[in-house]
Amino acid sequence: MMQKNDYWKRKPYRQLLRGIRDGNCIPFIGPEVLGPDITKRWIPLGKEFARKWAEENDYPLQEEYELSRVAQYLAIKDGTMTIKKDFSHELNKIQDQAPDFKLGEFRNAPLAVLADLNLPIYITTNYDHFIEKALETRGGKHPISDFCRWNEDLVDYANEEKINPELYDPDSGLEITSSNPLVYHLYGDIKHPKSMVLTEKDYIDFIINLNRNYGKNIFPVIARPQLTSASLLFIGYSMDDVSFRIILKSIVNSLRITFQLSNVAVMEPSDLVINNRINEAQRYVEEYTRKLLMTQPYWGNASKFAEELRHQLDSFVG
């Protein structure tokens, strides 16, 4: 396996640094970034919510760590919108305790580093607004939050509520810049519980609709051109997390684009590998991401990568 200090000598990583320097990089932000480091978390992981809900509701199956399946069970019992609103309310209470990202102790926290990249577009699979808070407190940016319209009901809802119509109007004249970046919630936004991709059925519908005619409503008009040319940085995902694979393949299919090998995915080691065969599992995922997804994996946690990225950027730009 490659040594970590060799990563930054490789072409995809040099291209990533150039893309960040030129404002031509789009981070995809996953749940592993929600903390100052790997030992502390501001929001529990999905599997922790799943186990809590499973215990509280006598979930009868073995996949008590699968949030989408436990949420589906509760949705059948209590209704989909009930569970989404309850989850949104719970996350909002946690979010109210968000830290002050200006403090020096959070300088190398993944969200702080991402906010300091001064990029025009951030895409997140998290429901919360922690990345918006980081952008606001570090440099006084004014992010525009939007969510994926992954079904026709959401398209109608967004139109009726007049939610960011200018993002989808090519003649609006709106400009997305590093001072006014777009934060796009691919799996939904806690401010709009209806938009949250939470249950197993939601995930199935999301994948189906992303590759249908709704593709034209998925990404705002002003974001689509950059998606076809920017370097992509996936950060906050584990090696057994299918989210980044679903995202990347769905983007490729819906926008009909071909990526070059200039994308980087920061991959946490898995706790689901059998018989401690971590090296074999990493080799498989590495081949998968390179050959099928045209993405270079970085093996390590988001906190370590963020610290290295800040150091590398300081050297690169300097």
Q: Which domain holds residue 82?
A: 43-97
Please tell me the distance from the alpha carbon of residue 144 to that of residue 141, in angstroms, as a whole number.
Answer: 10
Give phi and psi for 190, each to the nearest 5: -65, -20
Q: For residue 166, how far is the Cα from the chain centroid?
A: 23
152 and 196, same domain (yes or no)? yes
Indicate yes or no: pTM above 0.75: yes
273 and 204, same domain (yes or no)? yes
313 and 281, same domain (yes or no)? yes
154 and 258, same domain (yes or no)? yes
75 and 30, same domain (yes or no)? no
Across the chain, mean pLDDT equals 84
Lowest-confidence range among 89-93, 98-102, 199-203, 245-249? 245-249
For residues 255, 257, 260 and 261, what is the CA-based torsion angle, rounded to 10 degrees? 40
235 and 88, same domain (yes or no)? no
For residues 197, 202, 205 and 211, what is the CA-based torsion angle, rounded to 10 degrees? 20
63 and 191, same domain (yes or no)? no
Give the number of domains in the chain: 2
273 and 311, same domain (yes or no)? yes
Please tell me the distance from the alpha carbon of residue 199 to that of residue 83, in angstroms, as a whole number.
Answer: 9
83 and 183, same domain (yes or no)? no
29 and 75, same domain (yes or no)? no
- Residue-wise pLDDT for 235-281, tens only, equals 998 766 666 666 666 666 666 555 554 788 887 765 544 455 566 66
What are the angstrom distances between the C-alpha of 294 and each of 24, 183, 290?
Answer: 18, 24, 5
240 and 297, same domain (yes or no)? yes
Query: What's the pLDDT band for 1 if we cut at 50, 70, 90?
Result: very low
70 and 117, same domain (yes or no)? no
Q: Where are the beta strands (DSSP E) in the chain?
A: 25-29, 121-124, 144-147, 182-185, 231-238, 263-268, 295-299
